[in-house]
Amino acid sequence: MSSYNQILYQIVFGTKYRKPTIVNDNCEELYRYIWGILKNNKCKLFRINGIEDHLHIVCSIHPSVSLANLVKDIKVSTSVWMKQNNKFPHFEGWAEGYGAFTYSIKEKNRVIEYVKNQKIYHKKSDFLTEYKNLLKEHSVEYDERYLV
């Protein structure tokens, strides 16, 4: 018998020290690279976007893949790739940790639109405020000391 699931994730993680090191001109290449990692892990990408200091990935994860291993794979692979090419010259790495939030399939279009409009959203709000709001919205307890 096959395994089935329907879990929509929004995965969020930032650059090391939240430095603005994701060069806007080359972010589409980074997004395609991450899409390849997701496809190799039999996961489905619905949307990826971000700004200079963080990324959002909306996807479903294959039942054979653990969330922690997928995020680790994305972060390790992209770190190596970003440091090897000259398209992200100031990139030092990703921050430790990540946020992962689940949504009902009924919320899929809303979450995709939210991620699609990251550049507009961040004209009004910074990453830390956004991240805290996501944690609160999903009733995730957190320690302020680990958000800096």
Q: What are the extents of the domains in the chain?
A: 8-140
Domain range 8-140, CATH architecture = 2-Layer Sandwich (3.30)
Q: What whole-number distance in Å separates Cα of residue 93 and Cα of residue 90? A: 9
Angle at 93 (CA atoms; ends 45, 96), nearest 5 degrees: 80
Q: What whole-number distance in Å separates Cα of residue 34 and Cα of residue 1? A: 30
Angle of helix 67-84 relative to helix 27-40, nearest 10 degrees?
140
Contacts of residue 144, defined as CB under 8 A and 6 or more positions apart, other chains included, come to: none
- The one-digit pLDDT tens for each residue of the chain (148 residues) are 778 888 999 999 999 999 999 988 999 999 999 999 999 999 999 999 999 999 999 999 999 999 999 999 999 999 999 999 889 999 999 999 999 999 999 999 999 999 999 989 898 889 999 999 999 999 999 988 887 6
Q: Could you tell me if 27 and 91 are in contact, meaning their C-beta atoms sit under 8 angstroms apart?
A: no
Strand partners, 103: 8
